[in-house]
């Protein structure tokens, strides 16, 4: 079944139910990697000009991880993929597709997925990047599951190194973000499958989150560097309002199109944007029997990595047959929802 709709704001929505899969495709392995360097609230608070207690009060975050100077996105991703492949019981040579979600690639070209492909030895795999900012992992998940619907294995990766693009003096962003990578292996699954995915884009809100310079609109220049236009920028208050307005209704509508009742969902894994916001979101969505999993308290917001990092942390508590709701939102603005049977 394919259902194409428009939401009240006119954005394109698409829901694909389980019957779309020519063969059942599920998550058969997952892994994550967080750099060893722990960055405390005290450290980021000094540069941002706020008290350390202000960060915990406003965000619920206690620490985050920063990559070492010699680590790029592909380095973090390689560690996460190694763990995911081991968990799935396959090797890189078995992988036919790599879809890597990031908004902080190693470089504008080539795709970071190609750097990763070479590094892990997945020489037979097609490899490319997607950029839907913090929703990127769910976008990549849907692309990859369709590409292996006739067989084969896919690596789906979410990775970001936000410490490279954050202005340490900007308290709106510097206190929130950290670095990390998460990965899953998709493949034939007799017991689990991806029930469905919904992707939505809200281009009218594109200016809420972004990096103004560095592309073809504002190429790198001395002037753009001096103006700080290569730093990540976010209107946090407007983003919070967007999440409150759009996400709960989208989740209920999404589940309503699938053969799964809301009270059957056992696990809720949202994008780890802000711990205070997540508590409010869980209340608004109101899944009665679902446990919300979080890693934001110790890892901060890791962008496209946050959902697979949290999924890897929760895997020991997810039983076979459990239904897991993944809910991502971020720059674009973009929204990605997926319901996965473990």
Active-site positions? 134, 271, 301
Dihedral angle, C-alpha 294, 297, 299, 300, nearest 10 °: 100
Query: Residue 14 has which token pair?
Result: 């698409």
Q: Phi/psi at 278 (nearest 5 deg)?
A: -65, -40
Sheet holding 291-292, edge to edge: 2-6, 12-16, 193-201, 334-341, 323-330, 265-270, 291-292
Tokens of 272: 């780890």
Cα distance between residue 278 and residue 137, in whole Å: 18
Neighbours of 317 (CB within 10 A): 11
Nearby residues of 225 by Cβ (< 8 Å), 6 or more positions away: 213
Q: Phi-psi bin for 276: left (phi > 0), alpha (psi -120 to 50), beta? A: alpha
- State the burial class of residue 142 (Cβ atoms within 10 Å of its Cβ: 0-12, 13-18, 19+): buried
258/279 Cα distance (integer angstroms): 25
């Amino acid at each position: 079944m394919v259902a194409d709709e428009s939401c009240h704001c006119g954005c394109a929505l698409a829901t694909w139910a389980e019957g779309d899969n020519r063969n059942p495709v599920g998550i058969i392995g997952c892994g994550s990697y967080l750099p060893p360097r722990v960055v405390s609230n005290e450290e980021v608070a000094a540069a941002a000009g706020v008290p350390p207690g202000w960060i915990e009060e406003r965000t619920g975050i206690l620490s985050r991880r920063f990559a070492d100077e010699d680590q790029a996105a592909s380095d973090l991703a390689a560690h996460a993929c190694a763990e995911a492949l081991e968990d799935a019981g396959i090797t890189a040579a078995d992988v036919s597709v790599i879809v890597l979600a990031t908004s902080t690639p190693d470089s504008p070209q080539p795709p970071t997925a190609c750097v990763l492909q070479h590094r892990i030895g997945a020489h037979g795999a097609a490899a490319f990047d997607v950029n839907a900012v913090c929703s990127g992992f769910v976008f990549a998940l849907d692309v990859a599951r369709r590409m292996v619907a006739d067989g084969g294995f896919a690596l789906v990766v979410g990775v970001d190194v936000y410490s490279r693009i954050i202005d340490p003096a900007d308290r709106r962003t510097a206190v929130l973000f950290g670095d990390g990578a998460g990965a899953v292996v998709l493949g034939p699954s007799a017991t689990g499958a991806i029930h469905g995915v919904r992707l939505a884009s809200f281009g009218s809100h594109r200016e809420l989150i972004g990096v103004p310079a560095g592309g073809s609109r504002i190429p790198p220049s001395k002037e753009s560097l001096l103006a700080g236009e290569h730093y990540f920028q976010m209107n946090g208050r407007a983003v919070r309002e967007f999440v409150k307005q759009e996400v709960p209704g989208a989740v209920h509508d999404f589940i309503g199109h699938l053969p799964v009742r809301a009270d059957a969902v056992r696990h809720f894994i949202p994008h780890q944007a802000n711990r205070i916001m997540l508590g409010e979101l869980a209340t608004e969505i109101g899944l009665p029997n679902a446990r919300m999993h979080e890693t934001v308290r110790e890892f901060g917001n890791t962008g496209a990595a946050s959902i697979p990092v949290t999924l890897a942390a929760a895997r020991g508590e997810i039983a076979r047959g459990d239904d897991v709701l993944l809910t991502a939102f971020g720059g674009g603005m973009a929204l990605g929802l997926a319901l996965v049977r473990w």
